[in-house]
Amino acid sequence: MGLSGLLLLLGLFSPSWAGVTVQVPGLQVPPQYASRRDDAQKLFTVSYDAYKQFAFGHDDLSPVSRGFSDGRNGWGASVVDAMATMAVMGLDDIFEEAVNFTANIDFSRSKTSSTVSVFETTIRYLGGLLSAYELSDEKFPVLVQKAKEVADKMAFAWVGNNDMPFGFMNFATNTPTRSTSNIAEAGTLSLEWFMLTKYTNNATYGDRAARSAKHIANLASPLPGLAAQGIDPATGNAVGSYVTWGGGSDSYFEYLIKYARLTNTDEHIYIDTWKTAVDSSIKNLLRKSTVGNFTYLADFDGSRIRHVGSHLACFHAGNWLLGGKLLQNQTIIDIALELNEGCWNTYAGTATGIGPEAFAYISDDGSFTGGNSPSTAQMNFYNQHGYYITSSAYILRPEVLESNMHAWRITGNTKYLDRAASAIDAFNKFLPATVAFAGLNNVNSVTSSLIDDMESFWFAEVLKYLYLTFDDPAHISLDDYVFNTECQPFKAPPALDSYGGSGKLVSAKPFAAQSGALPAVSPNTFVKSGVPRGSR
């Protein structure tokens, strides 16, 4: 055997025919971190045991009151959302129990009085079912059957010749709520519906979701490649002119590059639009704090920069790292790592070591946020940490740890392992509730009250990202899988040699938006004050 063959077996050499690689070849977790994977798994098993005891079959555990809530239509979101994590962790007994539960879900109608979110149902239920099917070596076809059942109900959200679905459905009557939406709701469907096409051989599913994403990508935008947050499925037009990588827009941008990788499509629009969005963000939104020189991505309200950030938006570092590797663009990678530092700083600066729901900062062009000027206390905090808190809650969100995991897999720098370990320690210290774990009302208080809710993404995202950070990097490798926005892994085909798209940026078009009210961005009724919306 030649040297290259030996190195290939060892994972230290990637021949040209192997395609673009994302992870550091041959990366291994140093032995001193091995126990941390078990720590992450324990967080999961303790949480799921409590869910089984007090809330099984309902959507979420209420860990303080030992009750439950049904914010996702009462179909058992925590079971379905957690299944892929169970498979990744090798928890076969509770996985099969979850399969048996899932086989009996009745998706014909909501079990609550609420309408059905097409976006949330796609990323949690449809994505969870299909990822679990793949990760269990396709042993349980009932998972595809249930995925098809729920997708066939959601399909009624596309009305007539509309390219985009309405955001909410009444499953009992198969009628959508005819109202405005946002690009995250309408543009975060392509991965899951493509996977449903893969396992049903029905192209209609994937085509329908891809048409929605392409419609958004083809719209004129306030900044090149950066679609306005608001959308009206009835007219196909943008609503308002707000631009953000945060809630209401985030996963639309995320899926552009991920769809290109998952499908290896020869349609350039996905790569070209994502590349233009990143280029435009670097030119127009990138800001440095006047204290600490931290890198952040601002919002744009159509006329002014808003110096704001959010936990939700902090996925961007991981997404840019993935895209930068696929495009073999070191500039994007370097800036992504800087953005990751800015987001981690929001964890490092608080009393609990856990980051807030929303924050703001000051750069050399000012401090405008669209809201109140910072208080004296906020300015004092800013002068110490390079950001200040505008919404102090932590509702068990994953995005900072998501980007941290990508940074570890893509650079091999063990500081990212140290950070994940510190998050585990902070969770064990500050989040224990009556049972399991709960969010915090104030991340900057070591005596903060708890939020009586444990959303399903705690199982699907936070604990899976932590586990994978310390797991063998060859297991669920970023070179072999694409994650949906709920951290549900989908098997990807072998990578292409290049993901350059057409090699051109998307040309700007004259932009004009219609006016209209927009839905709340990631609302959570348990949080005392939510993320400020810039979607008007």
Establish whether 485 is an annotated binding residue: yes
Please tell me whether residue 391 adopts helix, strand or coil conformation.
strand
Q: Which residues of 226-239 are buried (b: 16+ CB within 10 A; e: fewer)?
A: bbbbbbbbeebbbb
Are 68 and 446 in contact by the 8 Å Cβ rule? The answer is no
Helices then strands, counting H and E runs in the chain, come out as 19, 19
What beta strand segments (E) does 96-250 contain?
116-117, 168-170, 175-176, 181-182, 230-232, 237-239
Please tell me whether residue 8 adopts helix, strand or coil conformation.
helix
Whether 149 is catalytic is no
Whether 455 is catalytic is no
Q: Tell me, what amino acid is at 135?
A: L
Please tell me whether residue 315 adopts helix, strand or coil conformation.
helix
408: Cβ–Cβ under 8 A, 6 or more apart, which residues?
Answer: 414, 416, 417, 420, 469
Which value, in Å, is the radius of gyration of the alpha carbons in the chain? 22
Continuous segment of H or E residues that includes residue 370: none
C-alpha torsion sign, points 35, 36, 39, 41: negative
User: What is the C-alpha to C-alpha distance for residues 358 and 312, in angstroms, rounded to an integer?
Assistant: 8
Catalytic residue, from 59, 399, 455, 471: name it: 399
Whether 399 is catalytic is yes
The encoded tokens of residue 431 equal 């989040």
From the CB of residue 36, how many other CB atoms can be counted at a distance below 10 Å?
21
User: What is the C-alpha to C-alpha distance for residues 128 and 228, in angstroms, rounded to an integer?
Assistant: 29
Catalytic residue, from 134, 185, 232, 250: name it: 250
What beta strand segments (E) does 322-413 contain?
358-360, 388-391
Burial of 286 (C-beta count, 10 Å sphere; 0-12/13-18/19+): middle
Catalytic residue, from 120, 232, 402, 452: name it: 120
From the CB of residue 509, how many other CB atoms can be counted at a distance below 10 Å?
11
User: What is the C-alpha to C-alpha distance for residues 174 and 373, in angstroms, rounded to an integer?
Assistant: 46
The upper half-sphere exposure of residue 294, i.e. CA atoms within 13 Å in the direction of its Cβ, equals 28
From the CB of residue 305, how many other CB atoms can be counted at a distance below 10 Å?
19
Whether 486 is catalytic is no
Are 179 and 169 in contact by the 8 Å Cβ rule? The answer is no
Are 485 and 123 in contact by the 8 Å Cβ rule? The answer is yes
User: What is the C-alpha to C-alpha distance for residues 456 and 93, in angstroms, rounded to an integer?
Assistant: 19
Catalytic residue, from 59, 357, 402, 455: name it: 357
524: Cβ–Cβ under 8 A, 6 or more apart, which residues?
Answer: 395, 453, 455, 530
The encoded tokens of residue 97 equal 């129990």
173: Cβ–Cβ under 8 A, 6 or more apart, which residues?
Answer: none
Binding site, by residue number, is: 485
Active-site residues, by number, are 120, 250, 357, 399
Binding site for Ca(2+), by residue number, is: 485
